Amino acid sequence: MDIFDKFDPMKSRLETVHKLGVDPFGVKFDDIMNATRGRIGNREIVLAGTNNYLGLTFDPDCMDASIKAIKNHGTGTTGSRIANGSYEEHVDLENALANHTNMASAIVFSTGYQTNLAAIATLAGPKDFIFIDADAHACIIDGCRLSPAPTIRFRHNSPEDLDKRLTRQGKIEDGIALVVIEGLYSMFGDRAPIAEFADVCEKHGAYLYIDEAHSFGVFGPTGCGLAEEQGVLDRVDFISGTFSKSLASIGGFCLSKHIGFEITRTAMRAYMFTASPTPSNVAAARAALDKIAEKPELRTNLAERAEQLHAGLAALGYELCADPSPVIAVRRPNEIIAASEWNWLLENGVYVNLAVPPGTPQSSSLLRISLSAAHTKEDIDHILSVFKEMSENSDELNARVAEVLAAAE
């Protein structure tokens, strides 16, 4: 028995996809020119799959803040904050996040994934219960696996099903219920009815934890996310997020309206036993947070581009998974067709994400588009023209798929 034999089914799937052209999970850009343009060889590519929602990765103030932090405090922290102490940048960003969202406590982490691992695994103890949305992100699921608390799933975006499951669970002796949902779901781009979830949690005395990774900076009058947009930010107990989307960096954060959250710094293993975020990453996120506060026009343009692209794709006859949002998912019949079309789009200068099982809800195969405030109306017109041309060339693409499948048999 070879240690890698267990991956043979995955290997077979990948080999079939690779026969269609470029490896969609190993794309190498020879240059990233700006927030919406990259280069592969001599070809300029429109970037429409980066999660760079506010287009701030090339913002001069964000870049200058990152460079200044490196010059002042070096390239890395070389240890955890528990062992090596906190840098000025860490504390400043935590204070700014807490002030911006009107939360009592803010803790930053080295990645967004690590944020949910640390916070969920620590907040829910052996006498508690975790209730999670059926479409929860992998990092939420893994955080639940690390927790000693039992995990109960409820139907996606269904406050009614959550209510039934909490009622069935009944009073939890010497423990609490922690309900974990997301704001904007990253694959389909659908939104949670947060106000209704808050009603259910308050009815049962449960704590509400929202992952706003894909919605922080994007929604709400001040960019605090979907909870703010739906007017219930003050009813949410915990909000997690990432620096790698709207905050244009690498790292993550968890916010709480409870000052007691501060004690978890000495209990979260994924916080205590890993190196803290670098000064440059934290400084870039701090500068991006200022842009979120100062430039609502970024959100306005992003919403307009999402409406434009969603309407255009729908008019072309593509099946879309949700209402307009910065994430627009185009449902395809299967992963081979999706991979073939993904290659066709890249060959014609548009980069999107290929999303296939097991990383997608309902075993869907998707062409996933994520838009940026840096995209222009002309950019969206171009993307639509390429999708239109792809539709007109469907016979050629289907023949290519049939050839690959025949060779694989």
For the chain, 409 residues long, the average pLDDT of each consecutive 10-residue run is 94 91 94 98 97 98 98 97 97 98 98 98 98 97 98 98 97 95 98 98 98 98 98 98 98 98 97 98 98 98 98 98 98 94 96 96 96 98 98 88 77
pLDDT at residue number 396: 85
pLDDT at residue number 409: 66
Whole domain around residue 192: which residue ranges?
59-294
Query: Are both 63 and 190 inside the same structural domain?
Result: yes
Query: Are both 236 and 331 inside the same structural domain?
Result: no
Inter-residue long-range contacts of 132-138, CB under 8 Å, 24+ positions, other chains counted: 132/179, 132/180, 132/181, 133/157, 133/180, 133/181, 133/182, 133/192, 134/361, 135/182, 135/185, 135/187, 135/188, 135/361, 136/180, 136/181, 136/182, 137/182, 137/186, 137/211, 137/213, 138/113, 138/359
Domain of residue 15, CATH code: 3.90.1150.10
Query: Are both 67 and 43 inside the same structural domain?
Result: no
Query: Are both 329 and 372 inside the same structural domain?
Result: yes
**The domain boundary residue, chosen from 262, 294, 326:** 294
223 near 96, Cβ under 8 Å? Answer: no
Locate tokens 């950019």: which residue? 379
**Amino acid at residue number 30:** D
pLDDT at residue number 394: 87
Query: Are both 74 and 140 inside the same structural domain?
Result: yes
Domain count of the fold of the chain:
2
b/e sequence 287-300, b meaning 16+ C-beta within 10 Å = bbbebbeebeebbe
Rounded CA-CA distance 159/176 in Å is: 18
Query: Are both 318 and 192 inside the same structural domain?
Result: no
Query: Are both 287 and 404 inside the same structural domain?
Result: no
pLDDT at residue number 401: 82
pLDDT at residue number 78: 97
Query: Are both 118 and 256 inside the same structural domain?
Result: yes
Domain of residue 183, CATH code: 3.40.640.10
